[in-house]
Structure 1
Amino acid sequence: MPPRTLRHRCHLALTGLVALATAAVLSAAPPAAAADTWTEAGSDRADPLTESQGLASVEIPAGSANRYTGIGTIPLGLSTRGWNHVGDPDASYDGHYIEPYQRDSGTTKMFRAQAPGGGWSEYVHTLSSGEALNNSWVAVSPDGQWMVAGEWGTMSRLLVFPTPGVNPATSPSANLPQASTVRLDHAVRDVQGCDFVDATRLLCSSDDPAGTLFGITKPLLQVDLSAPPNGASDVSGHVTALRQLPLRSSCSGTFEAEGVDYDRRTAVLRVIVVSPGFCVLTDSKTYRFTRG
């Protein structure tokens, strides 16, 4: 075979490999999706002790009350062992309820899970290399098998774990491993809560005080995933800032955006915003939003 023909065939083969690789990368990108519009539809006072960190709607058992977290909801037995901060919780669609906990120091974070029957179990995760200590929130995927969690600060990823007590690979007696990662196409800052709207869309509340990432402070974010998280491989996430969360109070100062919940039964989104100064006691709010 003449050398020129061999070079030509090699060139064609290389071109084909590049095309396949490019297609694979493009297929990993989240599909184009229109950003939702969320309109404020009312609010309720958020108690500073028991409703200041997060919230979750629980579907099973039927008629279950909404759940909230705050400094006043941490059991004494946990706080005496150093678990002194609870974040934004979530519940699986079959009624398992999960709270994220952190300590001030160390190499672990903890997820406290309550089964539909009422029993509690603790699942401890040993930090991976470079993983932040804080444990701000959890969001359980609609299939119940996977749980997304986040770190404080400016981040370009979300962490995926098997859902404690639901995924058969979990056990309170074993380390809860990180299974995979959501790779974000835009950095986010100080995310305080996320919740699944469907299998590939998350809504997140950001306590970003600077506003340099999206042009607004305290944004409500939408994250569209390239595929439902499955723990076997990383997925990518396209981030969109939807709007600024309400910042209204009788006091002036710094507000704090907290947890978020999407109730699929009513299609209502709720977000906690804590008021500044003394007004944390009087006019902190859980805001309700509807899509439209």
Structure 2
Amino acid sequence: MPASARLRRTGVLASLVTLAAALSLAVPASASAAGTWTEIGSDRADPLTESQGLASIEVPAGSPNRYTGIGTIPIGDSIRGWNHVGDPDASYEGYYVEPYQEDSGNAKMFRVQAPDGSWSEYVHTLSPGEAMNNSWVAIAPDGQWMLSGEWGTMNRLLVFPTPGENSGTSPSANLPQAATVHLDHAVKDVQGCDFSGPTTLLCSSDDSDGSLFGMTRPLLRIDLSAAPGGSGDVDGHVTALRPLPLRSACSGTFEAEGIDYDRRSGILRVIVMSPSVCVLTDSKTYKFSLG
């Protein structure tokens, strides 16, 4: 190759390298660039006490993981109509929150255990147009604010002050909605979300038809434009990461349930309940690590 041609080729390659570097700075990293959530194991999920949600507890140190199911609902709450519990969460400071709903009415309830072990209940009166479902809560890393979601196909998540931990809340006063997360892509039947970082949520969807993301029952990631709080609405960018495992000795309809990201180990866990009678035998809490 003549020297002049080699110089021209070298110049073209240098220009391409420079352009690629500029594009890498200008274009946000894709979901695949952040790694893949790979299944690393599973545990049986008890259909009575582990069928709705789960939370890893950091305070006090050495606390066992918590689960929710129809068998964990206190009798007194069930008698008063709070007969469905969703996916719970716990804060860095040791506040543990369970979401409750009733068959009819105009309110939701959040049952809270403080670090000293005491329990209290906070009721939220539905805002105009708000669905009554109370499927999950996700406490932001700052502990002062939490997110919740509604059932069905939605383009938003709801922001509340964290009951008990946020000093502006009281069991004797209505727990108000503080803001909204506006999603850039609809989500369907979200059963649980948990923060994996200050502005990143991982969510389990029970979407059974797959029309929104081209996969059924996906694991979702939602990247927020800012940390949620009481100062205004924020935007959320939705990415479908992978379908959740659907394995059972029975055929039929699975149900994706709650989710938990353990900040200490980096392990993600998601509950999937099996179809038919196999709900009793081979429902699973699947474990994932980020590869």
TM-score normalised according to structure 2 size: 0.89
Deviations 1:34-88 (A, max 9, x none): 3241000000000000000000000000000000000000000000000000000
Structure 1 residue aligned with 2:140: 141
Q: Supply the distance in 1 between the matched residues of 2:63 and 2:119 (Cα, whole angstroms).
A: 17
Q: SS of the residue aligned with 1:101?
A: strand
1:34 aligns with 2:30: yes
Q: Deviations over 1:149-173 (max 9, x none)?
A: 0000000000000000001110000
Residue equivalent to 1:217: 216
| Partner SS state of residue 279, structure 1 | helix
User: Stretches of 4+ moved more than 2 A in 1?
Assistant: 31-34
Counterparts of 1:105-120 in structure 2 under 5 Å? 105-120=104-119
Q: Distance in 2 between matches of 1:221 and 1:249?
A: 22
Aligned to 1:247: 246
Per the alignment, residue 183 of structure 2 pairs with 184
SS in 2 for 1:55: strand
Q: Could you list the per-position Cα deviations for residues 239-266 of structure 1 after superposition, in whole angstroms to 9, with x for gaps in the alignment?
A: 0000000000000000000000000000
Equivalent AA in structure 1 for residue 84 of structure 2? H
* Mapped pair 1:237 → 2:236: yes
User: In structure 1, how many angstroms separate the alpha carbons of the residues matched to 2:28 and 2:104?
Assistant: 41
**Which runs of structure 2 are paired with 1:26-175 in the superposition (5 Å)?**
32-35=28-31, 36=34, 37-175=36-174
Give distance in 1, aligned partners of 2:226 and 2:60. Answer: 29
Question: 1:231: how far off?
Answer: 1.6
Counterparts in 2 of 1:33 and 1:151: CA distance versus 1, 3 Å: farther
Measure the CA separation in 1 of the matches of 2:94 and 2:275. Answer: 34
Q: Deviations over 1:107-151 (max 9, x none)?
A: 000000000111000000000000000100000000000000000
Instruction: Please report the TM-score for the alignment, with normalisation by the length of structure 1.
Output: 0.89
Secondary structure of the 2:105 match is coil
Segments of structure 1 that go 5 or more residues without pairing to the other structure are: 1-30
Which consecutive residues of structure 2, in runs of 5 or more, have no partner in the other structure? 1-26
CA, structure 1 residues 65+274, in 2 after alignment: closer, same or farther (shift >3 Å)? same
- Give me the whole-angstrom Cα distance separating, in 1, the residues matched to 2:159 and 2:28: 23
Post-superposition CA distance 1:237-292 (Å, at most 9, x none): 00000000000000000000000000000000000000000000000000000001
* Cα separation, 1, equivalents of 2:278 and 2:208: 19
Deviations 1:87-107 (A, max 9, x none): 000000111000000000000
SS at match of 1:290: strand
Amino acid at match of 1:241: A
SS at match of 2:115: coil
State the distance in 2 between where 1:183 and 1:114 align: 29
Q: Which letter does structure 2 place at the counterpart of 1:264? A: R
For the residue of structure 1 that corresponds to 2:208, the secondary structure is coil
SS of 2:251's partner is coil
1:231 and 1:138 mapped to 2: Cα distance? 16
1:33 Cα deviation (Å)?
4.1
Percentage of identical aligned residues = 77
Q: Distance in 1 between matches of 2:167 and 2:151?
A: 29
In the alignment of these two chains, the number of paired residues is: 262
Structure 2: distance between partners of 1:258 and 1:230: 26
